[in-house]
A and B are shown apart, each in its own frame.
Chain A
Amino acid sequence: MMRTSSRTAAAKGVPFSSSPVLALKLPAWRSRFVLFVLFAAFLALIGRALYLQGVSTEFLHKQGELRYARTLELPATRGKITDRNGQVLASSLPVKAVWAIPEDVLEAPKSKLSELAHLLDMSDAELRNKLDSDRSFVYLKRQVEQDTVDKILKLDIDGIDTRKEYKRFYPEGDVTSQVVGFTNVEDAGQEGMELAQQKNLAGVTGSRRVIKDRMGRIVEDLDAVREPHDGKDLTLSIDSKIQYIAFTKLKEAVEKYQAKAGAIVVLDVKTGEVLALANLPTYDPNDRSGLTGAQLRNRVMTDSFEPGSTMKPFTVALALDTNRVTPNSTFQTAPGVMSIGPAVIHDSHAHGVLTVSEIIQHSSNIGTAKIALGMPAEEMWDMFTKVGFGQQPKFGFPGAVAGRLRPFKSWRPIEQATMSYGQGVAVSLMQLARAYMIFARDGDEIPLSFQKVTEPPVGQRVISEKTAREMRTMLETVTGPGGTAPKAQVPGYRVGGKTGTAYKVVNGVYATPRRYIGSFVGFAPASNPRLIIAVMIDEPGGPVHFGGDVAAPVFSEVAASALRSMNVPPDSTVTNIVVPTDSSEEM
């Protein structure tokens, strides 16, 4: 059909070349117009290309990067805290924070939600409470350990995700908590050395911009990497072995004497390092729910108390150093009562005539007061200040107190007398322990350190070497027969020290009925002291409350174990010690 029709068309007779359509004469502008349009289109394309390449390239680059470049945060780890032998006291490990988009999560089936609650260690209601929020982002739980996180992610609930963070672990728990302190969930120090050394311990987070391929692998760095800087590790001066001994012995004593609180500090005489520092009550830094202020308080550093008789050696040392007395000068202390102006001071027992040495040994208030009244107030104030009383300590420990020592110009004679045996002044146990350095160290005072000391510090002379030696001999008699602290004796070692039993001051006045603080500060071994140990037992509740009874035994036990663990050779052949029953002679 087709064929025939085309044939007919051809047959009808007009050959192609003479087709009338071809002969049609179009106006010339039409072809030019088409040419122009085509040319203009090309121009537009070139213009567009130039625009993309030249003018808007930055914008396009950005858009491109958005699709394949990622900024990664490079977390920095907080530095570890170790003891002097490298034992870890605090270390950060990565954990996860579990967060949720409440809207999405609430759509999950009930059974899954209750399983989630179970894994997060909370009740269904608690979880619902957290999810019942208008916000689009809710932390369900922070610092969740990896095992648990894996299980949670396996539940495959929509809208649950995790974020990397760090958790601090404290293997020693409550034993070292008072020194080390702790951090909050943001890994920032809150107490103790964690707070004091926050700047050094905290790391600096880094970042890098990278290109990732479609598998999520990093292919290339875009900018220079901002390296993360991990926090510096901190080596404390603490010896965890001595710390453990000090802590357990203190705990035993506090329980045995039903005391309200207790504190102990052990110092290295040669380097000024704090080898141990413990407080009771204390807390476990790994579980800080239900913490009270009393548990948190570092009594060694932040509590000041009236030291009582532990002050006497400083008064006596000053008198010896200025050649006002010798160890054998005598003072009449009978009848055990002495009036100074309108006030009266007492000895717990009347002693009669005592030498200076015996005044220390029996801890006579009257004897000390008589020595003190022979000296100008300014000199005494000077002495107390030089050994650090009333001075803000530079230990680098948060909250360390200065104690209280009034300016000498306002001292009345009765105050000068009572201050000579430690009433009317307030010191912290740390200050007291440090002050005893002048006796243990042949007369000079060195700065204390909570961090490991590599080179021996330079001392500052307070009293002469001769005075220091004489004082050591006197303080040794305190722990001998007839002294106030025979219970401080250590088998195999000669030790010296001084007891103190002070009335507790509450709101500026002595508490009634009388409440006591029993203390003992001593050094060992006496021939060449290596350790200073200061013990304070706060408000012993039992029948005994004298420093020689409640604090001295702690000193003895800690000194014995610590000296042994430090391999200090014994300097005494006495191995059998007869410890008398509770003494009653003391102030």
Chain B
Amino acid sequence: MSQVRFAAVSKIFGGTPALTDLSLDVADGELLVLLGPSGCGKTTALRLLAGLEEVSSGAIYIDDVDVTALEPKDRDIAMVFQSYALYPHMTVRKNVEFPLKNAKLPAAELAARVNEALATVSLTELADRKPGQLSGGQRQRVALARAIVRRPRVFLMDEPLSNLDATLRQQTRADIVALQRRLGVTTVYVTHDQVEAMTMGHRIAVMKGGVLQQVGKPLDLYNEPANAFVAGFLGSPGMNLVAGELRQGQIFIGDDLVGTSSVSDTRDVTVGIRAESLEISPTGFAATVLVAEELGADVHVVCETATHERVVVRQPQHATVPQSGQSVTIAPTGKVYVFDRHSGERIS
């Protein structure tokens, strides 16, 4: 299908940089997730790719063709908006056929493609309804049908699941992944939900403050985060980040040794440990239990360290659940990450 390339793309809104020097390649047929909190520049990047905003500097390529100056309609893309952006005065069928009518497709082919798209998202029965008569999930599927009917080179999706309830979101997430894998269309998917990113993306590009932090496969990012931000953002809960010290290669939280580093340095650091790599044990650093969240399969024990930092320990369901206010000691059972205290960059 198609490749997408951002080449040093920046966007400045009224003197405020929204996106800084983004260089990113999306491979043919790949689903790349742009992930980050509000204001991180992910939607700006998508809108620049769609042609809905003009880049301040840099260039965007689709299949090695510079599309930076092209109108949205000339980029051969389809977009699913957060609000679905359906045409409220048109029926479902009219909504779906709108892009094809604009492309002046012959009537027979148009009808065939619309029927196929409607069948793909199981909306054939509702073709004559208007968007106002549909549920949120059905509207979302109309938006998807309107995108796939064009057979575009690239799909752009801007938080398409954020208006759905939790159960429907999970189901639609799987549907979108299945559809994308089946159609094999290169897709750029924007979300702030790291669970969506982890479960849907071939690769994830994590962004913060308009700057790309790291890009890679979901598990690579989870296991080898480039900095404290990526470590803290990915995972549910995110990685525990606690002020610590590196003393000639030994990692300390307070005066408690929690691991060793490959870097034999001495300085203030941020120590990162995943919740599943911690346990409440007879030895380790001291903390007070704030609350134990029983989630069914496991328990998140939320604790506070002596320096008032939050640490979450993931325990299996059958383990003894400590009481709120109880003093405990916590020890790492797995990998301990070390980040620079100031830049947040990973040291080891």
Query: Are these two chains actual partners, yes or no?
Result: no
Query: Contact residues of B with A, CB < 8 Å?
Result: none
Query: Contact residues of A with B, CB < 8 Å?
Result: none
